[in-house]
Amino acid sequence: MSPIRCSDFAISFMMFGLSMHVAYRALRDPAAGRVLGRLTEGVPQPLEKAPGVEWLDRAFLQAGLGRPSERLGLWLSLWLGVALLAGLLGGWVFLLAFLVLPPVLLKLIVSWLYQRRVRRMVEQLPQLLDHSVRSLKAGRTLADAVLTAIEAASDPLKSAISRVSRNVQLGVSLPDAVQDFAELYERDEFRMFALGLKVNHRYGGNASELLNNLIVLIRERESGARKLKAMTGETRVTAWVLGLLPMLVVGYFLLTNPGYMLKMWHDAGGQHMLLMAFGMQVLGSFALWRMVRSV
């Protein structure tokens, strides 16, 4: 394919993506939404999304990034357009790289943001429970005490657990609302909080003592996790060194003798060796990650 035809094809593909974006914005227009709402008034609407979009929304909500499905078509068109352009300019290797690397990097970034956010939320949960206990001792009901503690909490726990207040205002019981929050963020501390509220709601009992025991349990789990992290520090550092060492060696070769790596890349056998080395590096890093997670 000649360079002129490649550029014409890339420009036409970008124009097609732009036209799809304009059509998507037109469908998302508020006036059009109001008209469609009046036309479909009284018609049952499906509540469930496609499984892939629902999983993506859930992952982004866990990381505190909002809902990506609102602009999913735009991001997909940009990603495919860039991947196709890279394939036309650099060959099938660049096409494969731009098709595989962006989703993998996005998954890693979203998972890292989720882990950092939920760790901070677990650290703030005893403060929320302590505020609830003090409100209970002041004469409030359990539901009022928890909702008041939610209003007094700080981010990121406040922005995440505010869905409990919204669900309670819509008529959902407090244990069910906290259970929904716990299932969204998938942490044992939140599940124990929901289970305690459900047991108290069904069988009664001293709510202050229940929340105090939960505070002690969460703090003991946090202390144990910190001790385990300190004891396994050497193992984790060793895994980082073993994972980064091949990439550091490649970087050293590129700085000191770039022609060596370029000659390998321009040779068919060298390309196979580099791709095999990259695949072994990915598998080795994944194996080290699994080994560190199991410690």
Return the closest-CA partner of residue 73 out of 98, 50, 104.
50
DSSP conformational letter for 155: T
pLDDT at 103 over 80: yes
Q: Check whether 272 has a pLDDT greater than 70.
A: yes
What does the block give as tokens for 182?
């716990």
How far from chain centre, in Å, is Cα 224? 26
Higher-confidence position of 12 and 134: 134
Quick check: bond before 102 cis, omega within 30? no
Separation of first and last alpha carbons in the chain: 53
Model confidence pLDDT, tens digit, residues 55-69: 777 888 888 887 776
**Domain segments of the chain as ranges:** 121-222, 229-294
State the DSSP H helix or E strand holding residue 69, giving kind and residue range, or none if neither: none
- pLDDT tens digits for 75-100? 778 888 888 887 788 777 777 877 88
Q: What is the CATH number of domain 121-222?
A: 1.20.81
Greater confidence (267 vs 174) lies with: 174
